[in-house]
Amino acid sequence: AMVALGTVSEAQSEFGDVVFFSVGFGRVWIAGRAIRRRGQREAELIVERDKGARAAVTEERARIARELHDVVSHAISVIVLQARGARHTEGAEQSEALDAIEATGAKALTEMRRLLHMLRADDEEVALAPQPSVDSLELLASQVREAGLPVELRFEGVRRELPPGVDVSAYRIVQEALTNVLKHAGPARARVSVRYEEDALALEIVDTGVGTGSNGGGGHGLLGMRERVALFGGELDSGPQSEGGFSVRATLPL
Protein backbone atom coordinates (compact mmCIF):
# COMPACT_ATOMS: atom_id res chain seq x y z
CA ALA A 1 0.00 0.00 0.00
CA MET A 2 2.85 2.35 0.85
CA VAL A 3 4.46 1.57 -2.52
CA ALA A 4 1.23 2.37 -4.32
CA LEU A 5 0.84 5.66 -2.48
CA GLY A 6 4.42 6.59 -3.32
CA THR A 7 3.85 5.85 -6.99
CA VAL A 8 0.70 7.97 -7.08
CA SER A 9 2.48 10.83 -5.30
CA GLU A 10 5.37 10.71 -7.77
CA ALA A 11 2.95 10.67 -10.69
CA GLN A 12 1.07 13.66 -9.31
CA SER A 13 4.36 15.52 -8.83
CA GLU A 14 5.49 14.80 -12.38
CA PHE A 15 2.09 15.87 -13.73
CA GLY A 16 2.32 19.10 -11.73
CA ASP A 17 5.77 19.77 -13.16
CA VAL A 18 4.47 19.20 -16.68
CA VAL A 19 1.55 21.57 -16.10
CA PHE A 20 3.84 24.19 -14.54
CA PHE A 21 6.34 24.11 -17.37
CA SER A 22 3.56 24.02 -19.97
CA VAL A 23 1.91 27.11 -18.49
CA GLY A 24 5.26 28.86 -18.21
CA PHE A 25 6.17 28.00 -21.79
CA GLY A 26 2.76 29.17 -22.95
CA ARG A 27 3.20 32.51 -21.24
CA VAL A 28 6.64 32.97 -22.75
CA TRP A 29 5.32 32.03 -26.21
CA ILE A 30 2.40 34.46 -25.92
CA ALA A 31 4.69 37.24 -24.70
CA GLY A 32 7.15 36.54 -27.51
CA ARG A 33 4.39 36.58 -30.08
CA ALA A 34 3.09 39.89 -28.74
CA ILE A 35 6.59 41.38 -28.91
CA ARG A 36 7.03 40.14 -32.48
CA ARG A 37 3.68 41.62 -33.49
CA ARG A 38 4.54 44.93 -31.86
CA GLY A 39 7.90 44.94 -33.62
CA GLN A 40 6.28 44.17 -36.95
CA ARG A 41 3.74 46.95 -36.45
CA GLU A 42 6.47 49.43 -35.54
CA ALA A 43 8.39 48.40 -38.66
CA GLU A 44 5.25 48.85 -40.77
CA LEU A 45 4.68 52.31 -39.29
CA ILE A 46 8.27 53.29 -40.10
CA VAL A 47 7.85 52.07 -43.69
CA GLU A 48 4.54 53.96 -44.03
CA ARG A 49 6.10 57.12 -42.64
CA ASP A 50 9.05 56.87 -45.02
CA LYS A 51 6.70 56.28 -47.95
CA GLY A 52 4.69 59.34 -46.98
CA ALA A 53 7.83 61.48 -46.75
CA ARG A 54 9.12 60.23 -50.11
CA ALA A 55 5.73 60.85 -51.71
CA ALA A 56 5.69 64.40 -50.34
CA VAL A 57 9.17 65.09 -51.71
CA THR A 58 8.25 63.64 -55.11
CA GLU A 59 5.07 65.71 -55.24
CA GLU A 60 6.93 68.90 -54.32
CA ARG A 61 9.64 68.21 -56.91
CA ALA A 62 6.99 67.72 -59.57
CA ARG A 63 5.36 70.99 -58.55
CA ILE A 64 8.67 72.85 -58.71
CA ALA A 65 9.43 71.28 -62.09
CA ARG A 66 6.08 72.44 -63.47
CA GLU A 67 6.72 75.98 -62.26
CA LEU A 68 10.21 76.05 -63.78
CA HIS A 69 8.77 74.62 -66.99
CA ASP A 70 6.44 77.60 -67.14
CA VAL A 71 9.29 80.02 -66.47
CA VAL A 72 11.49 78.50 -69.20
CA SER A 73 8.63 78.39 -71.71
CA HIS A 74 7.96 82.08 -71.13
CA ALA A 75 11.64 82.96 -71.56
CA ILE A 76 11.88 81.04 -74.84
CA SER A 77 8.75 82.77 -76.11
CA VAL A 78 10.34 86.14 -75.33
CA ILE A 79 13.50 85.11 -77.20
CA VAL A 80 11.49 84.16 -80.28
CA LEU A 81 9.60 87.47 -80.28
CA GLN A 82 12.77 89.49 -79.77
CA ALA A 83 14.53 87.63 -82.57
CA ARG A 84 11.66 88.37 -84.94
CA GLY A 85 11.79 92.03 -83.99
CA ALA A 86 15.57 92.20 -84.43
CA ARG A 87 15.22 90.97 -87.99
CA HIS A 88 13.41 94.18 -88.92
CA THR A 89 15.62 96.64 -87.04
CA GLU A 90 19.05 98.09 -87.62
CA GLY A 91 21.85 99.76 -85.76
CA ALA A 92 21.42 100.47 -82.06
CA GLU A 93 17.92 98.98 -81.85
CA GLN A 94 19.13 95.71 -83.32
CA SER A 95 22.07 95.63 -80.93
CA GLU A 96 19.74 96.18 -77.96
CA ALA A 97 17.44 93.41 -79.16
CA LEU A 98 20.37 91.01 -79.51
CA ASP A 99 21.60 91.93 -76.02
CA ALA A 100 18.13 91.21 -74.64
CA ILE A 101 18.04 87.88 -76.47
CA GLU A 102 21.42 86.93 -75.03
CA ALA A 103 20.42 87.87 -71.46
CA THR A 104 17.05 86.12 -71.66
CA GLY A 105 18.64 83.05 -73.21
CA ALA A 106 21.23 82.84 -70.44
CA LYS A 107 18.49 83.01 -67.79
CA ALA A 108 16.44 80.39 -69.62
CA LEU A 109 19.46 78.09 -69.83
CA THR A 110 20.03 78.35 -66.07
CA GLU A 111 16.39 77.58 -65.33
CA MET A 112 16.39 74.72 -67.84
CA ARG A 113 19.34 73.09 -66.11
CA ARG A 114 17.48 73.28 -62.82
CA LEU A 115 14.40 71.86 -64.48
CA LEU A 116 16.29 68.90 -65.93
CA HIS A 117 17.81 68.29 -62.51
CA MET A 118 14.35 68.09 -60.98
CA LEU A 119 12.77 65.86 -63.62
CA ARG A 120 13.87 62.51 -62.27
CA ALA A 121 10.43 60.98 -62.45
CA ASP A 122 7.58 61.05 -64.94
CA ASP A 123 5.01 63.77 -64.35
CA GLU A 124 1.54 64.18 -65.81
CA GLU A 125 0.80 67.26 -67.85
CA VAL A 126 -1.00 69.83 -65.74
CA ALA A 127 -2.62 73.08 -66.79
CA LEU A 128 -0.29 75.84 -65.61
CA ALA A 129 -1.65 78.90 -63.85
CA PRO A 130 0.24 82.22 -63.80
CA GLN A 131 3.05 81.84 -61.30
CA PRO A 132 3.17 83.96 -58.12
CA SER A 133 6.20 86.01 -57.13
CA VAL A 134 7.62 88.05 -54.27
CA ASP A 135 5.43 90.91 -55.49
CA SER A 136 2.42 88.68 -54.72
CA LEU A 137 3.28 88.46 -51.02
CA GLU A 138 1.16 91.50 -50.15
CA LEU A 139 -1.90 89.70 -51.48
CA LEU A 140 -0.88 86.49 -49.70
CA ALA A 141 -0.50 88.34 -46.39
CA SER A 142 -3.94 89.88 -46.87
CA GLN A 143 -5.48 86.47 -47.51
CA VAL A 144 -3.81 84.99 -44.43
CA ARG A 145 -5.07 87.88 -42.30
CA GLU A 146 -8.59 87.20 -43.54
CA ALA A 147 -8.10 83.57 -42.48
CA GLY A 148 -7.49 84.77 -38.91
CA LEU A 149 -3.70 85.09 -38.61
CA PRO A 150 -2.30 88.61 -38.05
CA VAL A 151 0.72 88.99 -40.35
CA GLU A 152 3.34 91.73 -40.50
CA LEU A 153 5.15 91.87 -43.86
CA ARG A 154 8.39 93.83 -44.24
CA PHE A 155 10.70 94.39 -47.20
CA GLU A 156 14.30 95.41 -46.60
CA GLY A 157 16.99 96.50 -49.03
CA VAL A 158 16.59 97.71 -52.59
CA ARG A 159 13.81 95.76 -54.30
CA ARG A 160 14.78 94.56 -57.76
CA GLU A 161 13.87 92.00 -60.38
CA LEU A 162 14.65 88.44 -59.30
CA PRO A 163 15.46 85.35 -61.37
CA PRO A 164 12.07 83.77 -62.18
CA GLY A 165 12.80 80.50 -60.36
CA VAL A 166 13.94 82.30 -57.21
CA ASP A 167 10.91 84.60 -57.42
CA VAL A 168 8.45 81.69 -57.43
CA SER A 169 10.32 79.67 -54.81
CA ALA A 170 10.54 82.61 -52.39
CA TYR A 171 6.78 83.06 -52.59
CA ARG A 172 6.16 79.33 -52.07
CA ILE A 173 8.44 79.19 -49.02
CA VAL A 174 6.60 82.07 -47.34
CA GLN A 175 3.25 80.58 -48.35
CA GLU A 176 4.09 77.18 -46.89
CA ALA A 177 5.45 78.67 -43.67
CA LEU A 178 2.32 80.78 -43.10
CA THR A 179 0.10 77.81 -43.95
CA ASN A 180 1.90 75.78 -41.29
CA VAL A 181 1.34 78.55 -38.74
CA LEU A 182 -2.38 78.52 -39.52
CA LYS A 183 -2.49 74.74 -39.13
CA HIS A 184 -0.33 74.20 -36.08
CA ALA A 185 0.29 77.36 -34.07
CA GLY A 186 -3.11 78.04 -32.52
CA PRO A 187 -3.68 81.70 -31.54
CA ALA A 188 -0.59 83.43 -32.89
CA ARG A 189 0.92 86.29 -34.84
CA ALA A 190 3.43 86.04 -37.67
CA ARG A 191 6.16 88.30 -39.01
CA VAL A 192 7.56 87.92 -42.52
CA SER A 193 10.78 89.64 -43.52
CA VAL A 194 12.05 89.73 -47.12
CA ARG A 195 15.58 91.15 -47.33
CA TYR A 196 17.30 91.96 -50.61
CA GLU A 197 21.02 91.41 -50.10
CA GLU A 198 23.80 92.01 -52.62
CA ASP A 199 23.98 88.40 -53.77
CA ALA A 200 21.04 86.69 -52.07
CA LEU A 201 17.41 86.96 -51.04
CA ALA A 202 16.89 86.29 -47.34
CA LEU A 203 13.52 85.22 -45.97
CA GLU A 204 12.47 85.04 -42.32
CA ILE A 205 9.09 83.84 -41.10
CA VAL A 206 8.60 83.96 -37.33
CA ASP A 207 5.45 83.14 -35.37
CA THR A 208 4.39 83.38 -31.74
CA GLY A 209 2.46 80.11 -31.71
CA VAL A 210 2.19 77.83 -28.72
CA GLY A 211 4.33 74.73 -28.40
CA THR A 212 7.70 73.92 -29.93
CA GLY A 213 6.52 72.71 -33.32
CA SER A 214 4.09 75.39 -34.35
CA ASN A 215 5.40 75.58 -37.89
CA GLY A 216 4.91 71.93 -38.66
CA GLY A 217 8.08 70.56 -37.12
CA GLY A 218 9.70 68.08 -39.50
CA GLY A 219 6.60 67.66 -41.62
CA HIS A 220 6.05 67.72 -45.34
CA GLY A 221 5.91 71.52 -45.46
CA LEU A 222 9.53 71.83 -44.39
CA LEU A 223 10.51 69.06 -46.80
CA GLY A 224 9.15 71.14 -49.64
CA MET A 225 10.98 74.24 -48.41
CA ARG A 226 14.26 72.33 -48.21
CA GLU A 227 13.77 71.03 -51.75
CA ARG A 228 13.29 74.55 -53.08
CA VAL A 229 16.23 76.00 -51.19
CA ALA A 230 18.54 73.12 -52.17
CA LEU A 231 17.61 73.59 -55.83
CA PHE A 232 19.29 77.01 -55.79
CA GLY A 233 22.18 76.04 -53.52
CA GLY A 234 20.75 78.02 -50.61
CA GLU A 235 20.35 77.41 -46.90
CA LEU A 236 17.35 76.73 -44.66
CA ASP A 237 17.29 76.95 -40.89
CA SER A 238 14.13 76.18 -38.93
CA GLY A 239 13.17 75.35 -35.38
CA PRO A 240 11.43 76.43 -32.18
CA GLN A 241 12.41 79.69 -30.53
CA SER A 242 13.50 79.89 -26.91
CA GLU A 243 10.78 82.45 -26.15
CA GLY A 244 8.12 80.34 -27.87
CA GLY A 245 6.91 80.00 -31.40
CA PHE A 246 8.77 78.83 -34.47
CA SER A 247 11.06 80.39 -37.06
CA VAL A 248 11.98 79.60 -40.65
CA ARG A 249 14.97 81.32 -42.24
CA ALA A 250 15.89 80.74 -45.87
CA THR A 251 18.62 82.19 -48.06
CA LEU A 252 18.36 81.95 -51.85
CA PRO A 253 21.53 82.94 -53.76
CA LEU A 254 21.05 85.36 -56.69
Contacts of 246 (CB under 8 A, 6+ apart): 180, 181, 185, 206, 207, 209, 212, 213, 214, 215, 238, 239, 240
Percent of the chain with pLDDT over 90: 23
Within 10 angstroms of residue 167's Cβ, the number of other Cβ atoms is: 21
Q: Rounded CA gap, 71 and 198, in Å?
A: 23
Q: Rounded CA gap, 132 and 161, in Å?
A: 14
Are 97 and 78 in contact by the 8 Å Cβ rule? The answer is no
Phi-psi map region of 163: left, alpha, beta (phi>0 left; psi -120 to 50 alpha): beta
Higher pLDDT, 202 or 185: 202
> Using CB atoms within 10 A of its CB, is residue 205 exposed (0-12), middle (13-18) or buried (19+)?
buried
pLDDT for 91? 75
pLDDT for 235? 94
pLDDT at 47 over 60: no
Higher pLDDT, 179 or 15: 179
Segments of the chain assigned E as strands:
151-156, 190-196, 200-207, 235-240, 246-253
Lowest mean pLDDT among 27-31, 221-225, 247-251: 27-31
186-to-182, 212, 217, 244 alpha-carbon distances in Å: 7, 12, 14, 12
pLDDT at 187 over 50: yes
pLDDT at 73 over 70: no
Percent of the chain with pLDDT over 70: 54
Most confident option among 13-27, 33-47, 174-188? 174-188
pLDDT, average across residues 24-50: 62
pLDDT at 232 over 80: yes
pLDDT tier at 196, thresholds 50, 70, 90: very high
Average pLDDT, the chain: 74
Are 178 and 192 in contact by the 8 Å Cβ rule? The answer is yes
Are 102 and 48 in contact by the 8 Å Cβ rule? The answer is no
pLDDT for 126? 41
pLDDT for 122? 47
